[in-house]
Chain A
């Protein structure tokens, strides 16, 4: 045992936390850290823009359930990370971002490439640190990973001045004891509240489960399935909750909200009790908030007390980890049943079944045109529903979530809260790195992919064979759709037609490109893309003014949906 640099220390700490890969870009103040990386067996994926380092770490975390790590230099490197960190923050994804900072003596002097990284990221991190003293590093790294991955997960940033990185520290003096007097997430739900919840559910005539990203974060898919089986209630998910309950199951109603299924939205307006688990009642789900879940019983289970009652009035709050709370709730519910007999709700289940039949998600299947719904269904079929699907943001995202059926959690990776265009492709890279045996597909839009297309270099030079399925409409489609519906078709700056040959673009980076112009070619192209073991982009030239249906107009109640044949 002797003296090592702080940068070397950092690598050891990361290793101890189980880090296997880091996404990043070096810079002046990060050279010591990158130098130490050479001696470490931690893999580094060099991205082409720091935003994508954060997105890749995020995608890695969503796919694997482990904390993702990204690195950037001071100043512009750190500010480039910001969108990616904010994205992870909004969706409660555990990532640790490590940034370089100017030397301690220069902090506050507007030194070259100085930015107040901890100040800038305070509102978008769960916590952040500026290391002022080398001795802090070991326990800060430990705390960072602990904070990022426990309670309500989220991004944590560690800002390390360059002269800290180079300072020698004595290995004997290493102190890893965490000091977090103010951090104690509530894991176990209150017994009385759980009892109350169970008895309310028991006496409900028309209950519905509403499950979100919290169920995924707590790895509670099994507990959810068990709970649903016991109480026999239909299940709606949020976008981020997709797959935590199998969408192929009869009780699954898929996603509700702005572009949810109509049957899910109607179910929300007819239910007398919502069991909300790990959701935050975003306005994209609730529609007009004052009318949502009005005068009904809402049971809200969440690990973050600040979510409970934030948007929707709650009758029974339960603070705790979804997994543990659902386990307890299921038990207590069964005890009630054992005493009072099973509460069969055949009428309600029949009603829900009928709604499903009456208002299916639909597109014109007989059309000779290449419909996005058709493309996604083909992708679903040919991947047997087993792929990890990442999406960009916009119409592509909604079509992907409507027509791909998610049977398992961590299969849909999409930017929910922040709605970040350009998330899907770098997230797919991260997901593929974490889950190399899985087929990883980015369902993309032509606008979004152009925000991050430089990452094609990352994919090809690191042999990360993700598939980009580009729904190319020559528009910033979702914005165009709003302009069509609500702004008299005044298409202000949403046309991006014919600005780049995507097939040539991907080929220029060393990937493969396939262009598809006809419905008949769809299946063959997908098959081929799945076969090619490198970066592939399939350029589906879809109808330019295709819309996402159904749709709830912003500010409207969710049962009023705009439909195709209006």
Chain B
């Protein structure tokens, strides 16, 4: 099962390596990862998605807590969060396919961020199923390059 784990860490060099190293050392695969400072510049948030059994997630959480620079860990409940990832997709486009692509982009409320002679670059943010759907629809046109951020997520309501 997929788990979204949010890890608050001290914003210091080497901390990400320690977190990532712990995952690989204990035999866990990180599916996606996003890092950046929080509202407090001294603290960074690592949001990661890992695929594992319940028991293993509990174990890895406990092991993560043992890292001195880890301040707080939260497993996010998918039912109660807003989750986003951002994709940049460069897709082949000629005069014939361009209108069709533009239509798809507008339906998805995605943006064209670069126009080349034979390409379009599209930016989309959304949850995983939305961005995947767009990716699927664009595939037939020929995806030249695809770049995605790791998933980030925030709990709904006033609870931090």
Contacts and interface: CB of A to CB of B under 8 A. Distances in A.
Interface of A: 118-119, 122-123, 126-127, 130, 132, 147, 152, 180-183, 304-306, 309-310
Contacts of B69: 182
Contacts of A119: 17
Most A CB contacts (10 A, CB to CB) among B63, B65, B68 go to B68
Given A122-B21, A181-B71, A182-B69, A306 B59 contact: yes
A122 B17 contact: yes
A180 B68 contact: yes
A309 B14 contact: no
A14 B84 CA distance: 49
Interface string B45-76: 00000000001001100110111111110000
Given A123-B21, A130-B14, 14 more contacts: A118-B14, A119-B17, A122-B21, A126-B66, A127-B67, A127-B68, A147-B68, A180-B68, A182-B9, A183-B68, A304-B66, A305-B62, A306-B62, A306-B66
B123 interface: no
Contacts of B58: 309
A333 B34 CA distance: 49
A306 B21 CA distance: 17
B9 to A, nearest CB: 7
B25 interface: yes
A122 B16 CA distance: 12
Contacts of B70: 182
Contact of B25 (A123, A147, A182, A183): A123
Interface string B78-107: 000000000000000000000000000000
Contact of A310 (B13, B25, B59, B65): B59
30 contacts: A118-B14, A122-B18, A122-B21, A123-B21, A123-B25, A126-B66, A126-B68, A127-B67, A127-B68, A130-B14, A147-B68, A152-B66, A181-B10, A182-B9, A182-B10, A182-B68, A182-B69, A182-B71, A182-B72, A183-B68, A305-B62, A305-B65, A306-B59, A306-B62, A306-B63, A306-B65, A306-B66, A309-B55, A309-B58, A309-B59
A127 B22 CA distance: 13
A217 to B, nearest CB: 15
Interface of B: 9-10, 13-14, 17-18, 21, 25, 55, 58-59, 62-63, 65-72
A130 B18 CA distance: 13
B41 to A, nearest CB: 14
B145 to A, nearest CB: 30
Contacts, number: 39
Contacts of A310: 59
Nearest to A118: B14
A494 to B, nearest CB: 31
A123 B63 CA distance: 12
A130 B69 CA distance: 14
Nearest to A143: B68
Contacts of B71: 181-182
Nearest to B60: A306
A129 to B, nearest CB: 9
Most A CB contacts (10 A, CB to CB) among B18, B63, B66 go to B66
Contacts of B25: 123
A305 B14 CA distance: 24
Contacts of B10: 181-182
Contacts of B17: 119, 122
Most B CB contacts (10 A, CB to CB) among A118, A183, A306, A310 go to A306
Contacts of A304: 66
A169 B70 CA distance: 30
Contacts of A118: 14
A123 B55 CA distance: 22
A305 B71 CA distance: 16
A52 B131 CA distance: 56
A180 B66 CA distance: 12
Nearest to B18: A122
Contacts of B59: 306, 309-310
Contacts of A127: 67-68
A180 B10 CA distance: 9
Nearest to A156: B68
A130 B58 CA distance: 30
A182 B67 contact: yes
Contacts of A306: 59, 62-63, 65-66
A122 B68 CA distance: 11
A205 to B, nearest CB: 30
A183 B58 CA distance: 19
A254 to B, nearest CB: 31
A122 B20 CA distance: 11
What 8 A-B pairs come out closest when comparing CB atoms? A306-B62, A182-B71, A127-B68, A182-B70, A305-B62, A183-B68, A181-B71, A306-B63
Nearest to A304: B66
A118 B69 CA distance: 14
Most A CB contacts (10 A, CB to CB) among B17, B62, B67 go to B62
A132 B13 CA distance: 10
